[in-house]
Amino acid sequence: MAGKRRVALVTGGTGGIGRETCRQLAAAGLRVVAADLPGDDARQQDFALAMQGHDVSFVAMDVTDPAGCERAIAAISASHGPVDVLVNGAGITRDAVLRKMSRDQWDQVLSVNLDSVFTLCKLLAEGMCERGYGRIVNISSVNGQTGQFGQTNYAAAKAGMHGFTMALAREVARKGVTVNSVSPGYIRTAMTAAIPEDVKQQVLAMVPTGRIGEAADVARAVVFLCHEDAGYLTGVNLPVNGGLFISF
């Protein structure tokens, strides 16, 4: 990568997919900032250990707090310079059938998974447009394409990310900024570890590649879309689901 090294911000940066994305972006030569809730000391140490030898720093950020996001981004701009690459990876599940889903379970998932994409893009897209370069990748989900039993909240948020991606891609395309989605299937993370074992086995039986995905599989797709040379790729969704949902 010639000239100034690009700066990448990854929300949900210490989670399963997030940390592998940070590692691979750094390995590709970017200066990476992982944004996440502070977590406990053990999690922080574990993250620091996993990032050893890579240019990845950490910033505490609650993506549901727009003012806090703004402060964190100001701090990143001061320490690293403007953010060129944004990966919206922060995501949670609060699974329940609609009949049992509380308003709070709905609000939490929409706030972390979808409202945060508005917040971060609003804070960063304008600067990217002014500088004539940007890469935005929204981590959605296969369940935002197909729906999933017990996930009206999550599927709505993840499908919402696709609409957001397509609309913003059109708005900023002329300014050198691309906006894309990556839709993971079932990936080995803490999120999927929490799925009841019988449900997990049912889902895995439907994956043509015959295995659960790894965070590295997803990160590879993110890095591809974040590449300097990927400027003609915008408004697309890149599924990384082992063939669980095949469509054109």
**Which positions are annotated as active-site residues?**
154
What is the rounded distance in angstroms from the CA atom of residue 35 to the CA atom of residue 13?
Answer: 5
Closest CB to ligand CAA belongs to which residue? 150
Q: What distances in angstroms separate CA 153 from CA 29, 143, 202, 216, one per listed residue?
A: 36, 11, 21, 26
Kindly tell me which of 40 and 197 has the beta carbon lying closer to ligand CAA: 197
> What is the helix (H) or strand (E) element at residue 102, kind and residue range?
none
> What is the helix (H) or strand (E) element at residue 201, kind and residue range?
helix 197-204
* Residue 106 binds to ligand CAA (criterion: CB under 6 A): no
Instruction: Provide, rounded to whole angstroms, the least separation between the CB of residue 1 and ligand CAA.
Output: 31
* Residue 143 binds to ligand CAA (criterion: CB under 6 A): yes
User: Binding residue for ligand CAA (CB under 6 A) from 75, 96, 129, 233?
Assistant: 96
* Residue 103 binds to ligand CAA (criterion: CB under 6 A): no
Closest CA to 185 of 120, 121, 130, 140: 140
User: Binding residue for ligand CAA (CB under 6 A) from 29, 38, 132, 196?
Assistant: 196
Closest CA to 117 of 164, 85, 153: 164
User: Binding residue for ligand CAA (CB under 6 A) from 4, 100, 103, 174?
Assistant: 100
Looking at 10-18, 39-47, 137-145, 227-235, which segment touches ligand CAA (CB under 6 A)?
Answer: 137-145
* Residue 149 binds to ligand CAA (criterion: CB under 6 A): yes
Looking at 26-34, 113-121, 127-135, 189-197, which segment touches ligand CAA (CB under 6 A)?
Answer: 189-197
Sign of CA dihedral 66, 68, 74, 80: negative
Kindly tell me which of 134 and 184 has the beta carbon lying closer to ligand CAA: 184
Residue with tokens 């369940």: 143
DSSP string, 183-220: EE-SBSSHHHHTS-HHHHHHHHTT-TT-S-B-HHHHHH
- DSSP letter (8 states) at residue 51: T
Number of residues that bind ligand CAA (CB under 6 A): 21
Q: Are 242 and 152 in contact (CB under 8 A)?
A: no
Residues that bind ligand CAA (CB under 6 A): 93, 95-97, 100, 141-143, 148-151, 154, 184-186, 191-192, 195-196, 199
